[in-house]
C-alpha cells in the first residue's frame, strides 16, 4: 500500500509539474486552410497568422510571449491578426509592460490588424479608458486596431468587432454594410457573438479566441470550465448556420498558469479561394 501511494503521489506530482511548467509554454503552430469567397487571385496561398489572448500582465511570462512573437515572425506571414485580450489588467503598470512586449510584435508582409478582448476593457469589462490606452499602444506598435470598423489590405477586408461583453458591442450596422462584400474575414474575440442576430447574411469566416481551448481538457471529455454560453465553442473550426464558419484559437497566454490537453496555439492559415 505504501508503494502504491508513493507511485500515485509521484504521478500526481509529475502531472502537476507538466500542467504548470510544460504545457502553458508548449506553443503549437497549426496550419488550417481558410477558403474565402471572392479572394483575389494574388492572395491565393498567402498566409494569415492569428495571435490571440497573449494576456500581458502578472501571470504570463513576457519572455515567453516575445519568443512566441519571434517564432511567428520567422514564418513571414502575409497577414497577422490579433484577436483580443492583449492584457490582463490589474493596474496602470500593464500599459508600459504591454508597450515593451509589443515592440517585438510580428507583422504581416502585407498588413497587421487586431481587435480588443474583454480583458482589454479592464475590471468588469467596463473601463473604456483602459480600452483606449490598449488601443493606442497597439496602434503605436503598428497594429491596425479595429473597433467596430472595417479595413482592407491588398484586397482582403477585415471587419473588427468590439468585444461582446464590452459596453460598445454594437456591430449590426457595420455588418449590414459590409456583410455582402467579397473577400472578407471578421475578427470577433468572443465566439458567443456568432449566435447573436447581427450577421445580416454574412457567409464568411469569423476568427475568435477567448476560450483558451478550455485550458484543461480531460481526454475524450469536454473541458469543465469554458467562458462561453454555447459549450460547443471550445477550439478549432466550428461550422455555423447560414454558411458561416468560425475558427477559435486556443490562444498564446493564460489567466492561470495551467494547461492540460489544450496547448497554446498560433494558427497560420493558408488562404484559398472558396469554390
The maximal CA–CA distance of the chain, rounded, in angstroms, is 69
The helix-helix angle for 128-140 and 93-102 (nearest 10°) equals 20
pLDDT at 21 (0 to 100): 72
Q: State pLDDT tens for residues 227-264.
A: 999 999 999 999 999 899 999 999 999 998 999 999 99
Handedness of CA 118, 119, 125, 131 (dihedral sign): negative
pLDDT at 3 (0 to 100): 52
Rounded to whole angstroms, the Cα distance separating 83 from 114 reads 6
**CATH value at residue 60:** 3.60.21
**Are 211 and 64 contacting, i.e. CB atoms less than 8 angstroms apart?**
no
Structure letter (DSSP) for residue 18? I
CB within 8 Å of 70: residues ≥ 6 apart: 104, 106
pLDDT at 1 (0 to 100): 53
Rounded to whole angstroms, the Cα distance separating 176 from 178 reads 6
Helix (H) or strand (E) holding 111: strand 111-115
Structure letter (DSSP) for residue 39? -
**Are 190 and 165 contacting, i.e. CB atoms less than 8 angstroms apart?**
yes
| Structural domain span for residue 58 | 2-273
Residues of the chain with pLDDT under 70: 1-17, 20
Whether the full predicted model's pTM is greater than 0.75, yes or no, is yes
- Domains contained in the chain, number: 1
Amino acid at each position: 500500500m505504501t508503494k502504491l501511494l508513493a507511485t500515485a503521489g509521484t504521478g500526481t506530482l509529475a502531472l502537476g509539474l507538466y500542467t504548470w511548467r510544460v504545457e502553458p509554454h508548449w506553443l503549437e503552430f497549426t496550419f488550417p486552410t481558410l477558403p474565402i469567397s471572392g479572394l483575389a487571385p494574388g492572395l491565393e496561398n498567402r498566409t494569415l497568422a492569428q495571435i490571440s489572448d497573449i494576456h500581458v500582465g502578472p501571470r504570463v511570462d513576457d519572455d515567453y510571449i516575445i519568443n512566441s512573437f519571434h517564432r511567428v515572425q520567422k514564418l513571414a506571414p502575409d497577414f497577422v491578426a490579433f484577436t483580443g485580450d492583449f492584457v490582463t489588467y490589474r493596474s496602470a503598470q500593464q500599459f508600459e509592460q504591454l508597450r515593451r512586449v509589443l515592440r517585438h510584435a510580428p507583422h504581416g508582409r502585407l498588413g497587421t490588424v487586431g481587435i480588443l478582448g474583454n480583458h482589454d476593457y479592464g475590471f468588469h469589462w467596463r473601463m473604456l479608458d483602459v480600452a483606449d490606452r490598449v488601443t493606442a499602444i497597439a496602434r503605436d506598435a503598428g497594429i491596425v486596431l479595429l473597433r467596430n470598423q472595417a479595413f482592407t489590405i491588398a484586397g482582403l477586408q477585415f471587419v473588427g468587432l468590439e468585444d461582446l461583453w464590452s459596453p460598445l458591442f454594437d456591430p449590426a450596422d457595420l455588418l449590414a454594410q459590409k456583410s455582402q462584400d467579397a473577400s472578407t474575414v471578421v475578427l470577433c474575440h468572443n465566439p458567443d457573438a456568432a449566435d447573436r442576430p447581427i450577421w445580416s447574411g454574412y457567409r464568411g469566416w469569423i476568427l475568435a479566441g477567448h476560450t483558451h481551448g478550455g485550458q484543461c481538457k480531460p481526454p475524450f471529455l469536454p473541458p469543465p470550465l469554458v467562458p462561453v454560453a454555447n459549450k460547443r465553442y471550445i477550439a478549432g473550426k466550428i461550422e455555423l448556420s447560414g454558411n458561416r464558419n468560425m475558427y477559435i484559437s486556443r490562444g498564446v497566454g493564460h489567466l492561470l498558469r495551467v494547461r492540460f490537453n489544450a496547448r497554446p496555439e498560433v494558427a497560420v492559415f493558408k488562404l484559398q479561394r472558396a469554390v
